[in-house]
């Protein structure tokens, strides 16, 4: 079964299968806002799928599910990926990005992205959603935070 080599959330990504990818603001693990429900205008879910040589030229289902802390599903999506190539001893890495528009988070708390490959959970990405007042803000003129 293919495995997830890497997965992360970013502000934006350009990831085309079989090519290098570009990412802006990668590594998101928390977001915040002043009012709830919080609507996040855009996130990119970047995935690197390791496809073993024996699984080339076959369709593989990739599914993501966004859950709240109680395990309730907020949204989900499915796509199918085929890594093309000749059966050799070399595995393939297929990188791609999923654009997520207008995700709505009903309340502050812990959320997670569950990533499944061919029906089997392979990765979890935590996402903390924080009320803006809870984010640490450096005092104006505090030299500890100057670059």
Task: Please give the C-alpha separations between residue 87 and each of 2, 5, 62, 100, in angstroms, as whole numbers.
Answer: 14, 20, 22, 34
pLDDT of residue 29 exceeding 70, the answer is yes
pLDDT of residue 130 exceeding 60, the answer is yes
Burial (CB < 10 A; 0-12, 13-18, 19+), residue 9, is: buried
Residue 147 is predicted with a pLDDT of: 46
Per residue in 72-125, pLDDT tens? 999 999 999 888 777 676 788 889 999 999 999 999 999 999 999 999 999 999
Residue 56 is predicted with a pLDDT of: 83
Task: Please give the C-alpha separations between residue 105 and each of 48, 69, 94, 113, in angstroms, as whole numbers.
Answer: 26, 11, 30, 13
Per residue in 43-73, pLDDT tens? 999 999 998 888 888 899 999 999 999 999 9
- Residue 9 confidence class, pLDDT cut points 50, 70, 90: very high
Residue 140 is predicted with a pLDDT of: 63
Delineate the domains of the chain, giving CATH numbers in brackets: 3-130 (2.60.40.2550)
């Amino acid at each position: 079964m293919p495995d997830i080599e890497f997965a992360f959330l970013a502000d934006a990504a350009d990831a085309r299968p079989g090519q290098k990818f570009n990412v802006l603001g990668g590594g998101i693990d928390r977001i915040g806002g002043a009012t709830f429900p919080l609507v996040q205008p855009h996130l990119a879910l970047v995935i690197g799928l390791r496809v073993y040589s024996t699984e080339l030229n076959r369709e593989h289902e990739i599914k993501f599910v966004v859950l709240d802390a109680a395990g309730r599903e907020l949204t989900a999506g499915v796509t199918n990926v085929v890594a093309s190539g000749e059966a050799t001893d070399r595995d393939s890495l297929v990188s791609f990005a999923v654009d997520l528009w207008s995700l709505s988070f009903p309340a502050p708390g812990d959320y997670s992205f569950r990533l499944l490959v061919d029906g089997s959970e392979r990765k979890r990405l935590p996402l903390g959603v924080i009320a803006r007042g809870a984010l640490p803000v450096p005092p104006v003129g505090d030299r500890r935070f100057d670059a």
